[in-house]
Structure 1
Amino acid sequence: MIEWFEKEAGDGFMLMAPTYPESFEKIFLLSDSNFSRTWYFRSDYESHLLKIICV
């Protein structure tokens, strides 16, 4: 995913958690540490509420 982002092949990704809940959990657990470590994970949101962030 990082390689696709760097090559401008994608600017975001949609995960279908209701359709594939097990896959969502695996992707989140594996990617969270990698994205945080490499600074590809956004963490400077104005709000701490997911409801406000996603609107």
Structure 2
Amino acid sequence: MFGKLNPLAHLNLQRSACVLSCRLIRTRWERGYLKDLYHRRALIGADPVISRSAQPN
């Protein structure tokens, strides 16, 4: 009984492994993309200051 997993526990292990691998793949491409966006935004500069009365409700 100790060495045998029930079927639901086995499915949960497979799903968590898939989610983990998908998460790592997503961050791999996303890291470079977000870094590029950050550097582009730094080159452009800060957003202009808009007073509260000029902002839409």
**Fold match, TM over 0.5?**
no
Comparing both chains, which one has the higher relative contact order based on Cα–Cα distances under 8 Å and sequence gaps of 6 or more?
Answer: 1
Largest Rg, 1 or 2: 2
TM-score norm. by structure 1 comes to: 0.36
